[in-house]
Structure 1
Amino acid sequence: MIAAARELPSSGYALEVDGRLKAEFATRDGARTGGVELKRRFPMLQIRIYDAQTKAREEIQLP
């Protein structure tokens, strides 16, 4: 059984959890807030924000 692959968004921001896209956001602040909240609840997950404009990823790390 093959899972459907989600495509990278062409605009906005996406939340990547353990290498898989899970949610899309219109703003960076919204993506960061969602990512930090998820990281607090599940600190063992690797959570990154994908920026569609620059095609760059930023890892969420708690202080």
Structure 2
Amino acid sequence: IAELGSLTGDGSGLLIMAIVGGAVIPLGMGFLADHIGLHRAFILPAVCYVYIVYYAFRGSRPVG
């Protein structure tokens, strides 16, 4: 992180999002697996991947 220069803020933000996502998404997956079944619970990571693909192609573009 220290060697990112002007991108240090972006790098630390990504690191925090990865940590939080790694802590929250498995809990949500377990909750869904208990209530709607393991096969259907895989919709949660699928939604996460769809958002990542959206952000990669559209959401990361500068506005204006």
Which structure's relative contact order is higher, taking Cα pairs within 8 Å and 6+ residues apart? 1
The structure in which a higher percent of residues are helix is 2
TM-score, normalised on structure 2? 0.29
Structure possessing the higher radius of gyration over alpha carbons: 2
